Amino acid sequence: MFKISKFSELTNISPRMLRHYDKLDLLKPSIIDEENGYRYYTADQINLANRILSLKNIGIPLKKIPFLLENEVAQNSYLSKQRTILETELAEKRLQLAYLDLLTEKRAASANDAVNLPIETKFMHKKPVLSYRQTVTSYYQENELWEKLFSAIPKEDFAELGPSIAVFHNKENEPIDIEVMIGLSEKAAARYPNVTSFEPNLVASIVTNGAYSTMPTIHDDMATWLTLNEYVLADPIFNIYHSSPATEEREELFITEVCYPIKKVIHYSK
């Protein structure tokens, strides 16, 4: 028989935790002296303590351990699930470290160029839109496209318009191909014969404010994010203008949501 202090020394479980295990019916003393309250443990309980610690050390909640100790089949299944959980957490931590390295590297070069986080993923559902698409020679001509689109919309419908969206269909080294869109309410959409649908599905997005001169940095960060998270571009990049030169005069009040439609990289087994 071992007093709690000696048993604690042998098992590396503190007396406080041994008392806690007793309350959980996880590891109860073999004997409790009724006169002085001393707790005594037996030698064969050392192996039980080791099994408890083994499960605890891989992240199994204490309340689950009594059931698992009594059910070997359930324990095998639970251990498999726990492996999946730990592998997922490890992958997330590695990704966080990659972001940390990226942020540290950028701040070392210039604090102003630090990575623009957070980049979030979300699903965007289908919405009716009016659109106008044209190839232009400069991105500064996007404003002309907006003017043409709005000229086809009666002013009385302006109150029912949704977000302003610009889709950039061109790839690198191709002519600039921009499609501007205005979201419509279902009620307003019924009045237009040339309504189309915009359905980007899964996107990675980042909301930024201020001048558009920051866009190259944002796109660099997005490209890095795609690589780290094993995504590829599924459809053309687009911007949602929550406020823009059309509604605000000061650049610092511009709010732009940069969106990348994405899909997971497919790894083919050899």
3-state SS of the chain is CEEHHHHHHHHCCCHHHHHHHHHCCCCCCCEECCCCCCEEECCHHHHHHHHHHHHHHCCCCHHHHHHHHHCHHHHHHHHHHHHHHHHHHHHHHHHHHHHHHHHHHHHHHCHHHCCCCCCEEEEECCEEEEEEEEEECCHHHHHHHHHHHHHCCCHHHHHHEEEEEEEECCCCCCCEEEEEEEEECHHHHCCCCCCEEECCEEEEEEEEECCHHHHHHHHHHHHHHHHHCCEEECCCEEEEEEECCCCCCCHHHCEEEEEEEEEECCCCCC
Evaluate if residue 13 carries a pLDDT over 70: yes
Q: What's the average model confidence in pLDDT over 63-76? A: 87
Residue count (the chain): 270
Evaluate if residue 112 carries a pLDDT over 70: no
Query: Do 154 and 191 contact (CB within 8 A), yes or no?
Result: no
Q: What's the average model confidence in pLDDT over 37-55? A: 91
Q: What's the average model confidence in pLDDT over 54-74? A: 89
Q: What's the average model confidence in pLDDT over 245-266? A: 86
Give the CA count within 13 Å in the CB-facing half-sphere of 92. 6
- Give percent of the chain above pLDDT 90: 32
Using one digit for the tens of pLDDT, what is the confidence trace for 184-214?
A: 888 888 888 889 999 999 999 988 888 888 7
Return the minimum-mean-pLDDT range out of 45-54, 122-131, 154-163, 200-209: 154-163
Return the minimum-mean-pLDDT range out of 105-109, 113-117, 149-153: 113-117
Evaluate if residue 121 carries a pLDDT over 70: yes
- What pLDDT is stored for residue 263 in this prediction? 92
- What pLDDT is stored for residue 270 in this prediction? 57
d(CA 199, CA 179): 14
- What pLDDT is stored for residue 207 in this prediction? 86
Quick one: pLDDT band at residue 166, thresholds 50, 70, 90? Answer: very high
Query: Do 73 and 34 contact (CB within 8 A), yes or no?
Result: no
